[in-house]
Amino acid sequence: MLIEYIPLILMVIIGFATAVVFLFLSEWLGARRSTYEKQSTYESGMLPVRQARERFSVKFYLIAMSFIVFDIEVVFLYPWAVQFKELAPAGVIAMFIFILVLFVGYFYELLKGGLDWD
């Protein structure tokens, strides 16, 4: 039983070893010239306007959490959609309850103004 996992374990070990070797090679062989341009903040080719340590609005974090919640919803919906025809009625009902709870959360957030972008 455990012998079936040997190729997977070897692949993980080889991948980890390769990452460690490349990490040390880049440290040993890489250039060490530090310039002002390399040390400056990169903002898509534009000059930085503010400091990087400024505080963000709470709205930013609310929108980020909403994105994560609804993104995780897709992770749970995908296997359900793949196996939809083979599911028993209990599986279909459970997923519809899950979707209903998500829609209640979505409408609550919509009513509270969590999705207003202004």
CA 29 to chain CA centroid, Å, is: 32
**From first to last of its 118 residues, what are the pLDDT tens digits of the chain?**
788 999 999 999 999 999 999 999 998 998 788 887 777 777 676 766 777 677 777 777 777 878 888 888 888 888 888 888 888 888 889 888 988 988 888 888 888 777 776 6
pTM assigned to the model: 0.46
Alpha-carbon span 101 to 89, nearest angstrom: 18
Domain spans, the chain: 1-29, 57-118
Which backbone phi and psi does 46 adopt, to 5 degrees?
Answer: -95, 155
Closest residue by Cα to residue 76 from 99, 100, 108, 53: 99
Q: Which CATH class is domain 57-118?
A: mainly alpha
Q: Which residues contact 77 (CB under 8 A, 6 or more apart)?
A: 95, 99
